[in-house]
Amino acid sequence: MITERELDILRRFFPVTTGMQGVHTLLRLPDAVGYCDDWKQPRVVAVACGDDLILAGDAKAQRWIEFVASLSFAGFIQAPPAFLPGLKQIDAGVIVWPRVNFVLDGALASLTSAPGGKVRKVHPGDAAALEKIGQPWLWKYWRDAEDFCRTGVGYVALVDGEAVSIASIFTESERYADLAVATHPAFRGKGYSTAAAHALCQNVLAKGRVPVWNTSTDNLASIAISRKLGFREKPAEPLYLMKRDIPHADSLTIGGDLS
């Protein structure tokens, strides 16, 4: 558990800007661990929780390498490129995962066509259907699918009354909301993800926040949806994977900074 004093220091390194939604989500989780090379005169900080690690500050302050090595970490790392040499000291097999970032900083595009069926907010009765979609990363920051359906924010597209696609807020800060989408394999390519994501964008915009969308450069389906909705491409830093393979683009469709 990160103390309030530590939280104040950590937040100085993680401004409320695009690309920082993940850390603001992690900082709220009870299992998160915070690190600082010197809590009185901090130069570099880290936040770790589960298979997520985020680094910021001066990569030359190399005491952070000892901290990360002590975690026996395996998972996804968000950090400026200057941290890569240090990460490779810990694990020479660190993989660079190229990413692309999109921001809806203009008008949400109108849907020119919509699939049959209904789009509505997610509710607790959707948990079993969401599990059938087969993308448990969607609720990685919740206890399980039921917990997400009770407390998360998302919209589902229904076919014969059952959720076959979902768009949800994956991570968020006070200003930005990262969107994630996933569709059951049998219903992909029919516009259900686009319809659900459009409804979610309306919800996010109505609350005065900016929707953002981050995915891998080879996830063409995800990129196509974001562009169809009016998102504009912005520069994005890569993610780094330690002791973890890059997920295949066919296995996920995501808008969000930690995959």
pLDDT at 123 over 50: yes
pLDDT at 149 over 70: yes
Of residues 18 and 24, the one with the higher pLDDT is: 24
* Predicted pLDDT at 30: 86
Q: Return the percentage of the chain with pLDDT > 90, whole number.
A: 70
pLDDT at 250 over 80: no
* Predicted pLDDT at 236: 86
Sheet holding 239-242, edge to edge: 33-36, 44-49, 52-57, 75-78, 239-242, 95-97
Q: Return the percentage of the chain with pLDDT > 70, whole number.
A: 93
Whole-number Å distance between alpha carbons of 10 and 37: 11
CB atoms within 10 A of CB 86: 20
pLDDT at 104 over 70: yes
Burial class (CB in 10 A: 0-12, 13-18, 19+), 40: exposed
- Domain 4-98 -> CATH class: alpha beta
pLDDT of 218-242, one tens digit each?
999 999 999 999 999 998 888 999 9
- Angle between helix axes 220-228 and 192-206 (nearest 10 degrees) is 50
Instruction: Give CA angle at 231 (228, 237), nearest 5°.
Output: 125
- CATH code of the domain made up of 101-236+246-251: 3.40.630.30
- Report the mean per-residue pLDDT for the chain: 89
Of residues 65 and 114, the one with the higher pLDDT is: 65
pLDDT at 252 over 60: no
* Predicted pLDDT at 16: 65
pLDDT of 78-87, one tens digit each?
999 999 999 9
Whole-number Å distance between alpha carbons of 101 and 236: 5
- The stretch 123-128 carries a mean pLDDT of 95
Give 153's pLDDT tier (boundaries 50, 70, 90). very high
Tell me, yes or no, if the two domains 4-98 and 101-236+246-251 fold the same way: yes
Taking the complete model, does pTM exceed 0.85, yes or no?
yes
pLDDT at 205 over 50: yes
Closest-CA residue to 90 (of 47, 59, 45):
59
pLDDT of 28-64, one tens digit each?
888 898 999 898 899 999 999 999 999 999 999 978 9
Residue-range domain boundaries for the chain: 4-98, 101-236+246-251
* Predicted pLDDT at 258: 32
Of residues 77 and 16, the one with the higher pLDDT is: 77
